[in-house]
Amino acid sequence: MDISHILNDLNDKQREAVSAELTNLQILAGAGSGKTRVLVYRITWLIEVEKVSPFNLLAVTFTNKAAHEMHQRIEKMVGLIANNMWIGTFHSLAHRLLRAHFKEANLSQNFQVIDADDQYRLIKRIMRDAGLDEAKWSPKQAQWYINSQKDEGLRPKDSAENVYDEFTEVMLKIFQRYEEICQQSGLVDFSELLLRAFELWRDHPEICLHYRKRFKYILVDEFQDTNSLQYEWLKLLAGQESKIMIVGDDDQSIYSWRGARIDNMHSFIKDFPDTKIIKLEQNYRSTGTILKAANTLISHNNARLGKNLWTASQEGDPIAVYAAFNDIDEARFIADQIKQWQEQGNRLSECAILYRSNAQSRVLEDAFIQAGIPYRIYGGLRFFERAEIKDTLAYLRLISQITDDAAFERIINTPTRGIGLRTVDFLREQAKQTQQSLWATAKQVTHLQLLPARALSALSNFLNLIENLANAIQCLPLPEQVEHVIHQSGLYHHYQNEKGEKGRARLENLEELVTAAKQFEPEETIANSKLTAFLTHAALESGETQADSYSDCAQLMTLHSAKGLEFPLVFLAGMEEGLFPHQMCLEEANGLEEERRLCYVGMTRAMKKLYLCYAESRFLHGKEKSQRSSRFISELPPSCLAEIRMRTQISQPLSLKSKSATLVPIENEKYQIGQYVKHAKFGSGIIINREGSGAKARLQINFEQVGSKWLMTEYADLETL
DNA sequence: GACGCTCTCATTTTT
DNA sequence: TGAGAGCGTC
């Protein structure tokens, strides 16, 4: 048999991993070492060489994007038989199991998946109902508590033993009530998907055995991101017989704040004693310099599994460090560099600006607009998270499962139809007493005429509306169901009345939803109706942030969302103590190490050229703040860095207190603070403005570029104000 | 029920 | 600084 097409384009280590004997495998795959390739080729190897049926394969990822990509690449290698294997995220696989075994999992057939926002609303409502002081107990906290309990595999009854303080007591109470409501309404949140799926196997060994026999080979991507529950789930599935291959990089674990446990990588070796460990250390992405710097940085972390990336590619340019005067100057500098990059004939989409927190994007955007650089920001509201979309989906949810109280509450008065808070409160109270869904309660209340006439008529109009919608769409194909609901619910009309750009965008989104329904093809009929499948799809796969723009754009995103991507030109902006590493992380145990890993992730995104930027002072929370440059910069080998030291060079010769100086170029024109000014005769400089002692000065600064550095050659005090 | 005022708060985010 | 939530008023 010819196996060259599988092995030829792999290096020794990759080949070793791909063609390893049928045992448990732990692949430590450094950044840019061909991790996905190894996974895909291993699957191909199993199918073509080891003659494993795709039916016996399970591949697990964390994001839908990764799952899709893997599926496509496998299909390219082995053809359509790839469709026989299960590939998906932990959540989508768990969901699939629960649909198949809803009875054993104690769920209703039409159970709905709710996203984090739905969950938040539900919790908030519960807390209000319970009359909890919102200043003292925040819904966010409660949400975090509930999810982290579930992520540890704990139910309220498990946590009940550990109540020692008021906080836990209150949280537990909310947790309990939350569970009751979800169970009653047939709602399943993200953590619940995993926990239920776990319990399904734990409590029904026969079902577990069935899947154990089926999935003889399990492959897990980004294993360093698994939480306790996901790992337990995998262990349960693997049992003694199945073989697991995990691929991960402990140095790129940046989600511990979300429950991910790097420890799972250590545990794996203990829990699966015959595990073979293979390290992929050859990096195909970055230059030698970037890699050397990244390696040095991450070596400051303790408790690593240990691995050192190397590359056969060239040294490349040094890493440029730019000390900006302030955030505006930083943004301007980045925009300038990007402009130059573009003028050299490169594409904008090849550069990424990475930052620690979303708030940083604003100044960058301003600078890009000014410089006329098109950009794209990742993050923000995703398609299925938009209010108008969620409203429509809530109608559909309620129709497909009438017990869905969360959906009921969302739309009972959206668009407004005269059902006020009082009516809703009354319904809630009644529902609580009778242990019924809001829908059933509302039916009863209208029947028994328990409300004032006006409220009663509004309520029964609403009930009729839902019933009519349900009848009308029963036999329609999915896209028409969606369209019908959008119009007949009054939502379309409602958003039509919203003025301005916003309203138009919303209508467009609603139309887009119909299109999405048209294009929606459920992978398999796991759900009992296409509508249910579509609703789940919407919850599990919240969609892209923006419709794909094909124009050439600079890419702005947080460091977290840059994971898994690569760019020829990368800027890390805001390399300041307190911002990166973030203040809040410094207060947590092991917080600093995770920040360092985040920096490592950021640096290793860069292929050719990397810039590290920090601002001497920055506007934050409405105040100007000065921070030292990030310790991460000082942890890098100086030989890898080239500083662009404008600020230091200026401040030294200035006899004025730098905090009270205003720099402007020669002509007395209007310039913005932070603006970079070039003057034919006097060179170039940056305008800063600091309030301090009260004294202000107007200065002219001349610069000269010497090698890769900017040096101040002379300055003149033009005028003292 | 819409609008506007005030208050608070401010990492990272997939599913 | 500025977004979002809550609250009071018309």
pLDDT 10s digits, A503-516? 888 898 999 999 99
Mean pLDDT within A314-319: 95
Token pair, residue A628, equals 């030292």
Mean pLDDT within A41-64: 95
Placement of tokens 């009082």 in the chain = A422
pLDDT confidence of residue A51: 95
pLDDT confidence of residue A192: 97
- Residue–nucleotide distance: A536 CA to C7 C1' (Å): 36
Mean pLDDT within A400-411: 93
Sign, CA dihedral A470-A472-A473-A475, equals positive
Q: Which of A20-34, A514-528, A637-651, A674-688 has the lowest mean pLDDT?
A: A674-688
Residue A252 falls in the annotated catalytic set: yes
pLDDT confidence of residue A697: 39
Convert the pLDDT of each residue in A591-639 to its tens digit: 999 999 999 999 999 999 999 999 988 988 888 888 889 999 999 999 9
Inform me whether the pLDDT recorded for A650 exceeds 50. no
Residue A101 CB partners (closer than 8 Å, separation 6+): A200, A204, A207
Check A252, A536, A604, A627 and give the catalytic one.
Answer: A252
Residue A271 falls in the annotated catalytic set: no
Check A13, A35, A332, A618 and give the catalytic one.
Answer: A35
Amino acid at A302: N
Q: Which nucleotide is nearest to A560 (CA to C1')?
A: B12
Q: Which nucleotide is nearest to A620 (CA to C1')?
A: C1
pLDDT confidence of residue A526: 67
Interatomic CA distance for residues A325 and A322, integer angstroms: 10
Check A15, A16, A36, A129 and give the catalytic one.
Answer: A36
Does the CB of A619 sit below 7 A from strand C? yes
pLDDT, greater one: A680 or A321: A321
- Residue–nucleotide distance: A620 CA to B6 C1' (Å): 21
B11 C1' closest Cα residue: A357
pLDDT confidence of residue A692: 31
Sign, CA dihedral A646-A652-A653-A656, equals positive
Does the CB of A63 sit below 7 A from strand B? yes
- Residue–nucleotide distance: A455 CA to B2 C1' (Å): 20
Q: Which of A72-86, A198-212, A598-612, A670-684 has the lowest mean pLDDT?
A: A670-684
Q: Which nucleotide is nearest to A191 (CA to C1')?
A: B15
Q: Which nucleotide is nearest to A134 (CA to C1')?
A: C6
Does the CB of A621 sit below 7 A from strand C? yes
Q: Which nucleotide is nearest to A621 (CA to C1')?
A: C1
User: Of A92, A62, A91, which Cα lies nearest the Cα of A224?
Assistant: A62
Contact A222, A66 (CB under 8 A): yes
Inform me whether the pLDDT recorded for A555 exceeds 70. yes
- Residue–nucleotide distance: A362 CA to C1 C1' (Å): 12
Contact A161, A236 (CB under 8 A): no
Token pair, residue A457, equals 């008529």
Q: Give the C-alpha distances (Å, rounded to integers) separating A524 from A183, A241, A528.
A: 26, 28, 10
Interatomic CA distance for residues A152 and A191, integer angstroms: 10
Give A134's DSSP letter: T
Does the CB of A622 sit below 7 A from strand B? yes
| Number of C-beta neighbours around residue A689 at 10 A | 16
- Residue–nucleotide distance: A505 CA to C3 C1' (Å): 20
Q: Which of A220-229, A416-425, A541-550, A648-657 has the lowest mean pLDDT?
A: A648-657
Q: Which residues pair with A572 in a beta bridge?
A: A354, A612
Inform me whether the pLDDT recorded for A329 exceeds 90. no
Convert the pLDDT of each residue in A114-161 to its tens digit: 999 999 999 998 988 888 877 788 889 899 999 999 999 999 998 887
Inform me whether the pLDDT recorded for A66 exceeds 80. yes
Give A287's DSSP letter: -
* pLDDT, chain A, mean: 86
- Residue–nucleotide distance: A623 CA to B10 C1' (Å): 12
pLDDT confidence of residue A659: 29
B8 C1' closest Cα residue: A135
Inform me whether the pLDDT recorded for A683 exceeds 80. no
3-state secondary structure A378-440: CCCCCHHHCHHHHHHHHHHHHHHCCCCHHHHHHHCCCCCCCCCHHHHHHHHHHHHHHCCCHHH
Interatomic CA distance for residues A68 and A55, integer angstroms: 18
Q: Which of A72-76, A160-164, A481-485, A645-649 has the lowest mean pLDDT?
A: A645-649
Burial A464-496 (b: 16+ CB within 10 A, else e): ebbeebbeebeeeebbebbbbbbebbebbebbe
pLDDT confidence of residue A477: 94
Q: For residue A177, give the H/E element and its range.
A: helix A166-185
C6 C1' closest Cα residue: A134
The H-assigned helical ranges of A497-590 are 500-519, 530-540, 583-586
Q: Which nucleotides on strand B sit less than 7 A from a protein beta carbon?
A: 1-2, 9-15
Convert the pLDDT of each residue in A336-379 to its tens digit: 999 999 999 999 999 999 999 999 999 999 899 888 999 999 88
Inform me whether the pLDDT recorded for A704 exceeds 60. no
B1 C1' closest Cα residue: A416
pLDDT confidence of residue A176: 94
Is residue A707 very low, low, confident or very high in pLDDT (cuts 50, 70, 90)? low
Does the CB of A588 sit below 7 A from strand B? yes
Backbone angles phi, psi at A681, to 5 degrees: -90, -40
pLDDT confidence of residue A267: 94
Mean pLDDT within A578-589: 90
Interatomic CA distance for residues A594 and A574, integer angstroms: 17
Inform me whether the pLDDT recorded for A414 exceeds 90. no
Q: How large a percentage of chain A has pLDDT more than 90?
A: 66
pLDDT confidence of residue A444: 94
Give A529's DSSP letter: S
Interatomic CA distance for residues A425 and A431, integer angstroms: 10
Is residue A546 very low, low, confident or very high in pLDDT (cuts 50, 70, 90)? low
